[in-house]
Chain A
Amino acid sequence: MTIDVVLCVPSCEGPVRKAFEVTGVTPAVASTGRLNEVAALEPAGGFAGAVINASAFPFSEAMNLCRQLRSRERGARPIILLVDHYQLDDLTFREDLFDDFVVGPFDVSELATRLRHRLRRAGNENVAPRVEHGGLSMNLETYQASITGRVMDLTYMEYELLRFLATNPNRVFTRETLLSRVWGYEYYGGARTVDVHVRRLRAKLGEEHANLIQTVRSVGYKFGTNAERVND
């Protein structure tokens, strides 16, 4: 399946990154508002939307980008603007340039909800809260995962690990990265905890689908369907 790509300017960190993860859309990060940089990142099907953090780069530049995205033939809708409280007044009479806005400090669930909501309103029915990949389907709103229609009974950490991997397919993560990104706290097993959970997930995925999570020898793990031997 194609995962929808949403433009994200000028960075995708902290709660913004997390909101993208929760929503299951892939960010395309442009570090400036220059249109040629933005256009270079654009996938063949166009952006599904844009998240523009006007509190993190010059406000006029942010507005310019919005305007340019709006005036292009193949626009990016919806546009969600992230602003600081003091910038609220500046939004007056510029309502046509964006579809929604969020005021900092940014809350992950508010950001994710607005992103999802706006994407759906824009007719983007297949975007999150669902992640689908090679027979695996995860509903991120209800926390339910199934493999070829069979519901998987996951513990919380198994669910979180699977969600993280499935929303970042074909990327290799080290055990340490997974431990800090998914667990975020020290656990008794250290990085071997990741191995234990991967093993459990593979068991629950079933033999046929166990290779959705691939071992990358002496590096870590990646999620993906391209056939490669599982070295374990």
Chain B
Amino acid sequence: MASMKSQAEYVLRTVEERGVRFVQLWFTDVLGRHKAFHVTPAELEDALDQGMTFDGSAIDGFSRIQESDVLARPDLSTFQLLPWYDEGAGVARVFCDITNIDGTPFEGCPRQQLRHVLDGARAEGYTFFVAPEIEYFYFEDLDPSREPRPIDRGSYFDLGADDVASQLRRRTVLMLEEMGIGVEHAQHEDAPGQHEIDLRYTDAITMADTVMTVRHVVKELARQSGVSASFMPKPLANTPGSGMHTHLSLWRDERNAFIGDGPYGLSELATKFIAGLVHHAPEITAVTNQWVNSYKRLVPGDEAPVAAGWARFNAAALVRVPSVKPGRIDSTRIEYRSPDSAANPYLAFAVILAAGLSGVRGDYELPKEGEQAAPLPESLAQAVDLMAHSKLLLETMGEHQVEWFLRNKRAEWDAYRAQVTPFELERYLPLL
């Protein structure tokens, strides 16, 4: 059985057998950015045993007034060789939880925040499964001084000549499969250079780790091919942005608890969960769409949602109830469509689950299909204001994270607000 000791033994022996030269200890800051330590095999045993101490004040969202030292503790179950490194000089990764020096969970660690929410759900008998669809762009480069240039001109489901981008996407999918990441399918999206990878459902903590891994693999393989990948929510004006539509289901006693006799084969639990999502959507948007740029994607006209509501078919609905194939009733699920590919997956899944569950706990009533309950925030400033008054977020993310998030995001908005944009120059300079 999976004792810590045998897991550590497995990891150490594999490092030895496979000639691993470095182990990357991966973790995520509050904004969902990927961080890593690199340790040599010699240091590994200590790192596995005691964790790695580091000064958290340099990491976004980790700084505190008093104690700044924190501990990265490897989650050994996530140890995995990274297949794009050379045989014989291998590199492996392991995800870490961040704790205080005394071993208690550190309140700024998004991975543990998600774990906390999942534990709450589990105490009520629920298991939460997620399956995101991750959209992103391949560009020639990421030079910020000019408009990014997509590396292909294809569009939705195009089967064109075998271009670089399709080859790249295919290689990425194979690499992910090799790492044990199940890919449901991958396709060319609406916009030139835009691609999508749909992942097979897993529990939320595994999936949040997976999303971090996928972003890393996509970028790494693009770099190796001399191009660049970006998960920026809206890199090109007049072109659809990159979302991370997330399929959700709750299970109880090994059964899909969303299955029932309600509308579209949904259970009462599912309708309350949807009601919770619709009700709390405006306040959690600051987390699912956390950048100034995120709100350029959530505009009318495209298929991105702009208001809280649910529907079966309307592609612009915030919550959609996908059709289930006959005989595949277990795949009954709902789809939450506002998150973008640049969200922190740990916090995004945590707040989505919390919002849905509060609908279940509070017995919320499902609004009418197609009804727009409330608009989603139109800007980061609005989103942050809604967050500041959200009891749900305070409970889900904790005071430390909410406070830091508000401060950081207000500063981002202020920096943005002070800009004079090309739009203004073009429109006003000749005129005014």
Residues of A within 8 A of B (CB): 142-144, 151, 153-160, 175-176, 181-193, 196, 199-201, 203-204
B426 CB within 8 Å of chain A:
no
Do the beta carbons of B77 and A175 come within 8 Å of each other? Answer: no
In the complex formed, the residue of A with least CB distance to B249 is A192
Bitwise interface map of B from 6 to 27 toward A, beta carbon under 8 Å scored 1, else 0: 1100110110011000000000
Do the beta carbons of A185 and B1 come within 8 Å of each other? Answer: yes
User: In the complex the two chains form, what is the Cα distance from A142 to B1 in whole Å?
Assistant: 17
In the complex formed, the residue of A with least CB distance to B256 is A192
Do the beta carbons of B180 and A203 come within 8 Å of each other? Answer: yes
Do the beta carbons of A156 and B81 come within 8 Å of each other? Answer: no
Interface centre among A143, A144, A201 (most CB of B within 10 A): A143
User: In the complex the two chains form, what is the Cα distance from A184 to B3 in whole Å?
Assistant: 9
Residue from the list B2, B17, B203 in contact with A156, Cβ < 8 A: B2
Q: A183-B1, A203-B178 are in contact. Are A192 and B14 (CB under 8 A)?
A: no
Inside 8 A of B372's CB, which chain A residues have their CB?
A: none
B80 CB within 8 Å of chain A:
yes
User: In the complex the two chains form, what is the Cα distance from A183 to B14 in whole Å?
Assistant: 20
Do the beta carbons of A189 and B180 come within 8 Å of each other? Answer: no
B336 CB within 8 Å of chain A:
no
User: In the complex the two chains form, what is the Cα distance from A203 to B6 in whole Å?
Assistant: 25
Do the beta carbons of A153 and B203 come within 8 Å of each other? Answer: no
User: In the complex the two chains form, what is the Cα distance from A143 to B11 in whole Å?
Assistant: 9
Residue from the list B1, B18, B118, B182 in contact with A203, Cβ < 8 A: B182
Interface centre among A144, A153, A181 (most CB of B within 10 A): A153
Smallest beta-carbon distance A205→chain B, Å: 10
In the complex formed, the residue of A with least CB distance to B80 is A155
B59 CB within 8 Å of chain A:
no
Residue from the list A142, A151, A181, A204 in contact with B180, Cβ < 8 A: A204
Do the beta carbons of A189 and B7 come within 8 Å of each other? Answer: no
Inside 8 A of B2's CB, which chain A residues have their CB?
A: 156-157, 160, 182-185
Q: A143-B14, A199-B182, A203-B177 are in contact. Are A192 and B254 (CB under 8 A)?
A: yes
Inside 8 A of A185's CB, which chain B residues have their CB?
A: 1-2
Residue from the list B6, B178, B254 in contact with A153, Cβ < 8 A: B178
Do the beta carbons of A192 and B1 come within 8 Å of each other? Answer: no
Inside 8 A of B127's CB, which chain A residues have their CB?
A: 188-190, 192
Smallest beta-carbon distance A22→chain B, Å: 10
User: In the complex the two chains form, what is the Cα distance from A80 to B18 in whole Å?
Assistant: 34
Smallest beta-carbon distance A152→chain B, Å: 9
User: In the complex the two chains form, what is the Cα distance from A182 to B3 in whole Å?
Assistant: 11
Do the beta carbons of B13 and A142 come within 8 Å of each other? Answer: yes
Inside 8 A of B1's CB, which chain A residues have their CB?
A: 181-185
User: In the complex the two chains form, what is the Cα distance from A130 to B158 in whole Å?
Assistant: 47
Do the beta carbons of B180 and A201 come within 8 Å of each other? Answer: yes
In the complex formed, the residue of A with least CB distance to B92 is A153
In the complex formed, the residue of A with least CB distance to B16 is A142
In the complex formed, the residue of B with least CB distance to A197 is B180
Q: A153-B80, A158-B180, A188-B205 are in contact. Are A144 and B254 (CB under 8 A)?
A: no
- B176-219 interface with A by 8 A CB criterion: 177-182, 200-206
B122 CB within 8 Å of chain A:
yes
In the complex formed, the residue of A with least CB distance to B14 is A143
User: In the complex the two chains form, what is the Cα distance from A185 to B203 in whole Å?
Assistant: 15
Inside 8 A of A192's CB, which chain B residues have their CB?
A: 127, 129, 203, 251, 254
Smallest beta-carbon distance A223→chain B, Å: 17
Inside 8 A of A142's CB, which chain B residues have their CB?
A: 13, 17
Residue from the list A157, A199, A204 in contact with B200, Cβ < 8 A: A199
User: In the complex the two chains form, what is the Cα distance from A196 to B251 in whole Å?
Assistant: 14
Smallest beta-carbon distance B77→chain A, Å: 6
Inside 8 A of B239's CB, which chain A residues have their CB?
A: none
Inside 8 A of A155's CB, which chain B residues have their CB?
A: 77-80, 180
Do the beta carbons of B78 and A188 come within 8 Å of each other? Answer: no
Residue from the list A157, A184, A190, A203 in contact with B254, Cβ < 8 A: A190
Do the beta carbons of B10 and A143 come within 8 Å of each other? Answer: yes
Do the beta carbons of A156 and B79 come within 8 Å of each other? Answer: yes
